[in-house]
Amino acid sequence: MFEGSTVALVTPFRGGNVDWKAYGDLIEAQIAGGTDALVTCGTTGESPTLSDEEKVELFRFTAERAKGRVPVLAGTGSYDTHHTIELSKAAKAAGCDGLLLVVPYYSKPTQAGLLAHFRAVADAVNLPAMLYNIPGRSAVNMAPETIVRLASHKNIVAVKEASGSCDAVTQISSSCGITVVSGDDSLTLPFMACGASGVVSVVANIVPADVKELVRAALDGDCARALELHRKLFPLIKACFIETSPIPVKTALALMGRCTRELRLPMCEMDPANEEKLKAALAAYGLFGGSGAAARRREAGAKRRKPEAKN
């Protein structure tokens, strides 16, 4: 379950609030581009700076806008098991189809603690869950053996593997039936060669159709086409991670006129030199043809527009 191309949606802001019009348009663009599932309130959506009230509204809005056309996964994981359970119950009540559960960050639990944490959430909320292993942000790596043990729970059906380890993907995929997806855009193809079935993608925010085609080609065994797309996407992927995500991808969307570049501290605007590199990558891909000044005029116009109703 949850194989294919899943996008980790950004959360557009305007004037300190969620820009619901821009967010709805981004959802529609993803569905039109063939994206298989949506993640709301993931790290790319700046979840650490969203209030619980905003998260619940994003859960509801995303589920209602998707209208069953694609599954919606709610990012409900935190460093607190009780809080994770409460958010997960709210996501289910809001109509979400699944949960994205990150390894508890800052707390640094042991492998035994990870087993207890994820089992407690899966026991409490009857929704399919995707585990999220990202030691670069959580400070703890969830061992493949732990993931294999968790896969025996009926509600734990997938893992987003962002450890960067092909060995881990091979070990997990060969030891149990859990769906493994890449958590790194640049490793989608290598991970799929080792047994993964897709990606939760950042760069799909701006090129959903190409990410979907790469994943589909890999699943279909069309290695030549998958490699061609991997090589095409690679410079854009590197530019989208030239600074901490989601700073570059949100800046890219702003340059393309899709949302403002507004971030919440401690996320801040890109270094100007890095932004020039991002512009060059977008231009090379055919996504950005205007000057920086023209793009900023488009952003300014978007900010001046009267906020629209959520639905």
Catalytic residues: 132, 160
- Beta-bridge partner residues of 100: 75, 130
Whether 56 and 90 have beta carbons less than 8 Å apart is answered as yes
Q: Give backbone dihedrals phi and psi of 67, rounded to 5 degrees, phi first.
A: 50, 40
Residue among 55, 91, 86 at smallest CA distance from 73: 91
Tokens 């116009």, residue located:
301
20 contact partners, CB below 8 Å, separation of at least 6: 61, 307, 308, 309, 310
Number of H helices, E strands in the chain: 13, 10
Residue among 70, 85, 80, 81 at smallest CA distance from 39: 70
